[in-house]
Amino acid sequence: MSRLFSLADIFGRLLEAYGPQHWWPADSSFEMMVGAVLTQNTAWSNVEKAMERLRANRLLDAAAILSFPEEKLCEVIRPSGYFRVKSARLRGLCRFLVDGGGNPSRFEKVPTPELREQLLSVKGIGPETADSILLYAFSRPVFVVDSYTVRLLDRLGRLPGKGTYSEVQDLFMRGLDPDSALFNEYHALVVIHGKERCRKKNPLCEGCPLHEICGKG
DNA sequence: GCCCAGGTGGGTA
DNA sequence: TACCCACATGGG
């Protein structure tokens, strides 16, 4: 099975079924990073509400967030849930971005593994958030793993090792060309497929583009 | 009312 | 290492 259906094959089927997803929906790389934090374990519709409120308060800017009272920031991002946790995480991210002079271009020279470590050192930025930022805000060829990715591989009987984040990420990064545009689209397609077909409960297997590959088909 | 959502960090054994 | 839990809002 694994020889007949490569990761590239799966990508092709998802792309054919759902079309290009044009992720990440944001007007700036900073907005993408904010979205990456706000969407942690949260529906995107709630993130959009919070993002609109940030925009209305002219807070889609690292320095602006840092000079804004934290209690008020909580209120602004309240619709995205976990607002006390996320306001602190957002400020941590802004502090990271502003420290060192606030010149965004300085990140361009930093090698991806090092930049990843720097992001992971920010409290509240874990592997998925760091990789989302690397891929979508910095266009680095890093594959983003999330619960949908793990679920999909599990359904396909392809979950590597213990199914840890790095094991799953390695599977994709060894099996695909290191192409940020490809990784961008692939992750987006995995998520849209998860939402529309491969749900946590009640998988909608009928008409699934991965029907013959999937053990549940 | 219940389940779920584009996770993470802290605590315990 | 491996679980368990808190964190919170909003839509189906």
Q: Output the pLDDT for position A101.
A: 75
Residues 6+ apart with CB under 8 A from A137: A24, A29, A30, A32, A33, A36
The structure tokens listed for A170 are 């390695």
List the A205 CA – C7 C1' distance (angstroms). Answer: 33
Q: Which nucleotide is nearest to A50 (CA to C1')?
A: C9
Q: Output the pLDDT for position A19.
A: 97
List the A56 CA – B9 C1' distance (angstroms). Answer: 31
Q: If you search the block for the tokens 């799953």, which residue do you land on?
A: A168
List the A109 CA – C10 C1' distance (angstroms). Answer: 41
A96 touches strand B (CB under 7 A): no
A31 touches strand B (CB under 7 A): no
Check the CA dihedral A34-A36-A38-A44 and report its sign.
positive
List the A164 CA – C3 C1' distance (angstroms). Answer: 14
List the domain boundaries for chain A: 7-22+143-196, 29-137
Q: What is A29-137's CATH superfamily? A: Hypothetical protein; domain 2 (1.10.340.30)
| Long-range CB contact pairs, A125-129, < 8 A, 24+ | A125/A37, A125/A89, A125/A92, A125/A93, A127/A165, A127/A166, A127/A169, A128/A40, A128/A165, A129/A36, A129/A37, A129/A40
Q: Output the pLDDT for position A216.
A: 65
Q: Output the pLDDT for position A91.
A: 98
Regions of chain A short of the pLDDT cut 70: 1-4, 102, 216-217
Taking the CB of residue A135, how many other CB atoms lie within 10 A of it? Answer: 25
Rounded to an integer, what distance in angstroms lies between the CA atom of residue A83 and that of residue A202? 30
Q: Output the pLDDT for position A3.
A: 55
List the A101 CA – B6 C1' distance (angstroms). Answer: 31
Q: What is the pTM of this model?
A: 0.96
A186 touches strand B (CB under 7 A): no
Q: If you search the block for the tokens 């995480």, which residue do you land on?
A: A89
